[in-house]
Amino acid sequence: MPISEPAAVAAELRTAMGKLMRRVKHEDQIPLSQVAVLGTLDREGALTTSDLAADQRVRPQSMARAVGLLMEQGFISRRAHPDDGRKTLVELTPAGRTALENERGRRAGWLAQAIEEELSEAERELLAQSVALVERLAAR
């Protein structure tokens, strides 16, 4: 089966991305699931725990545990929802923003170095173009 077959491309992409994610995780100091929550709050602003669960595609109970852990570390805080007194919003604290920036820096630093050392200029250009394609697939 030629590599351009969608099923073959999907299998190869999934395998390669899995290997890359496992390698990047070696640079982590905060679990990936928690970094994802911090990143969402950084991009979207304050959200309810239910909204975070929907965004991350996890059960609300799982998100409640993650939120609890992040609160214990001082990375997020809660405040009353301005429009619905029954709800609370979760938001990034300054310590959470710093932790997120540090994580992003560690990951990006390792990956940038690997790209520079392992790929030719033409390969780097091809990789840059491929990022947009992967983003489109992720948004589907």
What integer best gives the mean pLDDT of the chain? 91
Q: Is residue 129 part of a domain?
A: yes
Predicted TM-score (pTM) of this structure: 0.67
CATH number at residue 59: 1.10.10.10
Rounded Cα distance between 47 and 92, Å, is 10
Give pLDDT tens digits for 31-59.
888 999 999 999 999 999 999 999 999 99
Please count the structural domains in the chain.
1
pLDDT score of 119: 95
Question: Three-state SS for 80?
Answer: strand
Residue 91 host element (H or E): strand 88-92
Sequence-distant (6+) residues with CB within 8 A of 2 are 8
Q: Is residue 28 part of a domain?
A: yes
Q: Is residue 31 part of a domain?
A: yes
Domain limits for position 89:
6-139
Give pLDDT tens digits for 66-106.
999 999 999 999 999 999 889 999 999 999 999 999 988 88
Give 109's pLDDT tier (boundaries 50, 70, 90): confident
Q: Are 91 and 46 in contact (CB under 8 A)?
A: yes
Q: Is residue 37 part of a domain?
A: yes
Q: Is residue 1 part of a domain?
A: no
Give 3's pLDDT tier (boundaries 50, 70, 90): low
Q: Is residue 62 part of a domain?
A: yes
